[in-house]
């Protein structure tokens, strides 16, 4: 990495329709070269665009969108968070060590005004239910008192009506395996790693669930019609891009019945948000209560109030190394370890209260043990994937 640290940073865009877009080329040691598109995303694109004067950031393109370059491929495994001032702060491998080909050259389109950027970020949420994120009156009252209940508690029925249980078939029975989150009448979000061991045909989506051992009012089972796992899940780092979209298989043309209190959609973020500024955040799931307990789900879901931390604080003081985490993750929980997610909670929601509605900011992903002091859990950072989600929302 020394060659990059000592060189002035020169970046140019080649092959686009104007100075705002093109193949990304960077000059090191007097030589122009390209950047590999492996895990290249909008955060990386935004840092590149800002560094060449486009203050509103930009979007990423892959597979040599503006033509293949030539010569050396200087960089791969960039991982910007979007706020860096230089690509130097995003590098996770030494320059010149890429094994990519020029058909994987990264490119960007930079925003030339703020309106285009805002419309891009809001495109998904604008097409989802306008009634999202509303809790039943009982659920809302419980949430107001949540901060007083250290360690979490059992949820009230219909308190988190967007939570679903992803159940796997074991003979003639169904067993809870992961959580999920309803975002529309047809779509559920969850963690990609839930499908590492079990294919989609082994799963049933149960909505309106509360008591795993009872038939709750409004409870209903659906099969999975389509599964979209992020195409760069587990790239470079385990649990990287840990997100999947499930399309619910309709029953005689009937989708999920939203608006009855038992099943509702959660809201998605409107755009970029400083996660350290989030307030009134909670996690929910049927997972085990500690890491030494048998991997058996709890009969009733539990919820707990948590704090969301800057990733820098998690990599410096929480036992997570910089090569274990990525810009697609956020850490949250309690530093005293008294509120955390555990086995069986994967895929479930981390939501925060905004203007009286619950907004999904995280999807339960992974962690070191459960409830360990100084080691909050890791969650998929939903805001990073808004533009990716756009392709599935019709």
* Parts of the chain with a pLDDT under 50: 1-2, 140-150
DSSP notation for 167-210: EEEETTEEEEEEEEEE-SSSEEEE-GGGGSSS-GGGEEEEES--
Neighbouring residues of 58: CB distance < 8 A, sequence distance ≥ 6 = 20, 21, 42, 45, 46, 48, 49, 108, 109, 110, 111
Q: Residue 19 phi/psi, 5° resolution?
A: -65, -10
Determine the Cα–Cα distance for residues 31 and 22; give it in Å rounded to an integer: 18
Determine the Cα–Cα distance for residues 259 and 299; give it in Å rounded to an integer: 25
What local confidence, expressed as pLDDT, does residue 172 receive?
Answer: 87
The catalytic site residues sit at 193, 242, 346
What local confidence, expressed as pLDDT, does residue 7 receive?
Answer: 57
CA dihedral 95, 98, 104, 110 (to 10 degrees): -20
Q: Dig out the tokens for 352 from the structure.
A: 């925060």
- Report the predicted TM-score, pTM, of the whole model to 2 decimal places: 0.86
List, in order of start, the domains of the chain with CATH numbers: 10-112 (3.10.250.10), 153-390 (2.40.10.10)
CA 288 to each of CA 96, 111, 291, 294, 379: distance values in angstroms, whole numbers, following the listed order: 46, 45, 7, 8, 17
> Bridge-partner residues for 25, per DSSP?
12, 34
What local confidence, expressed as pLDDT, does residue 334 receive?
Answer: 76
Q: Exposed e or buried b for every residue in 333-365, given b needs 16+ CB within 10 A? A: bbeebebbbbbbbbbbbbbbbbeeebbbbbbbb
Neighbouring residues of 90: CB distance < 8 A, sequence distance ≥ 6 = 44, 47, 78, 79, 80, 84
What local confidence, expressed as pLDDT, does residue 151 receive?
Answer: 56
What local confidence, expressed as pLDDT, does residue 171 receive?
Answer: 85
Cα angle: 45, vertex 48, 54; to 5 degrees? 100
Q: What is the DSSP letter of 337?
A: S
Q: Which helix (H) or strand (E) holds 357?
A: strand 357-366
Helix and strand counts by DSSP (H, E) for the chain: 6, 20
Find where tokens 């039943």 sit: 136
What local confidence, expressed as pLDDT, does residue 126 receive?
Answer: 82
Closest CA to 250 of 214, 215, 220, 228: 220
What local confidence, expressed as pLDDT, does residue 338 receive?
Answer: 64
HEC string for 59-86: EEECCCCCCCCCCCEEECCECCCCCCCC
Q: Residue 127 phi/psi, 5° resolution?
A: -105, 5
What local confidence, expressed as pLDDT, does residue 293 receive?
Answer: 64
Cα angle: 212, vertex 213, 219; to 5 degrees? 60
């Amino acid at each position: 990495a020394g060659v990059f640290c000592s060189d002035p940073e020169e970046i140019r865009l080649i092959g686009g329709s104007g100075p705002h877009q093109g193949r990304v080329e960077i000059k090191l040691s007097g030589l122009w070269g390209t950047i590999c598109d492996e895990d290249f995303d909008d955060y990386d694109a935004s840092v590149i665009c800002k560094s060449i004067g486009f203050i509103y950031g930009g979007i990423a393109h892959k597979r040599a969108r503006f033509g293949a370059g030539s010569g050396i491929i200087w960089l791969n495994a960039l991982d910007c968070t979007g706020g860096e001032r230089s690509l130097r702060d995003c590098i996770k491998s030494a320059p010149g060590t890429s094994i990519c080909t020029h058909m994987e050259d990264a490119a960007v389109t930079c925003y030339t005004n703020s309106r285009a950027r805002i419309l891009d970020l809001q495109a998904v949420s604008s097409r989802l239910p306008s009634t999202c994120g509303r809790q039943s009156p009982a659920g809302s009252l419980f949430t107001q008192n949540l901060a007083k209940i250290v360690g979490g508690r059992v949820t009230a029925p219909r308190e988190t009506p967007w939570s679903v249980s992803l159940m796997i078939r074991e003979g003639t029975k169904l067993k809870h395996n992961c959580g999920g989150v309803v975002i529309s009448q047809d779509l559920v979000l969850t963690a990609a790693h839930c499908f590492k061991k079990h294919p989609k045909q082994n799963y049933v989506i149960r909505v309106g669930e509360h008591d795993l051992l009872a038939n709750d009012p409004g409870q209903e089972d659906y099969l999975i019609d389509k599964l979209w796992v992020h195409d760069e899940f587990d790239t470079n780092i385990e649990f990287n891009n840990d997100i999947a979209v499930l399309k619910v298989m309709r029953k005689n043309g009937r989708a999920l019945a939203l608006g009855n209190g038992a099943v509702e959609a959660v809201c998605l973020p409107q755009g970029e948000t400083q996660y350290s500024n989030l307030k009134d955040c909670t996690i929910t799931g049927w997972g085990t209560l500690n890491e030494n307990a048998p991997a058996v789900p709890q009969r009733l879901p539990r919820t707990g109030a948590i704090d969301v931390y800057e990733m820098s604080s998690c990599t410096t003081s929480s036992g997570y190394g910089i090569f274990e985490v990525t810009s697609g993750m956020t850490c949250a929980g309690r530093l005293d370890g008294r509120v955390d997610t555990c086995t069986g909670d994967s895929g479930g929601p981390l939501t925060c209260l905004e203007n009286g509605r619950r907004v999904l900011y995280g999807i339960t992903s992974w962690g070191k043990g459960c409830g360990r002091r100084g080691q909050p859990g890791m969650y998929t950072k939903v805001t990073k994937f808004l533009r990716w989600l756009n392709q599935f929302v019709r």
